[in-house]
């Protein structure tokens, strides 16, 4: 029997022009896809390996899945 692949949650920080900063937790692959899409729009995306459980989940994360 093979084990199911484990998801790894990370801390995602979105820094918008003008100073607004939002913090979420998301699965690593989703965070990377989100970052790739938002960076050309001058939204700075920081991904940290630790995801404190108190962070809210990334809204509409399902948009960044396969």
Structure tokens at 15: 């820094």
How does pLDDT run across 9-65, given as a tens digit for each residue? Answer: 999 999 999 999 999 999 999 999 999 999 899 999 999 987 677 899 999 888 888
Placement of tokens 């960076």 in the chain: 39
- What is the reported pLDDT for 65? 80
pTM recorded for the entire structure: 0.81
Task: With a cut of 90, say whether residue 4 has pLDDT above it.
Answer: no
Q: How confident is the model at residue 1 (pLDDT cuts 50, 70, 90)?
A: low
pLDDT of residue 42: 93
Determine the Cα–Cα distance for residues 64 and 46; give it in Å rounded to an integer.
16
């Amino acid at each position: 029997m093979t084990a199911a692949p484990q998801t790894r949650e990370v801390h995602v920080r979105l820094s918008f022009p003008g100073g607004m900063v939002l913090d979420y937790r998301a699965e690593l692959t989703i965070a990377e896809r989100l970052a790739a899409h938002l960076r050309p729009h001058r939204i700075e995306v920081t991904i940290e390996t630790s995801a404190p459980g108190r962070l809210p989940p990334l809204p509409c994360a399902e948009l960044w899945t396969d």
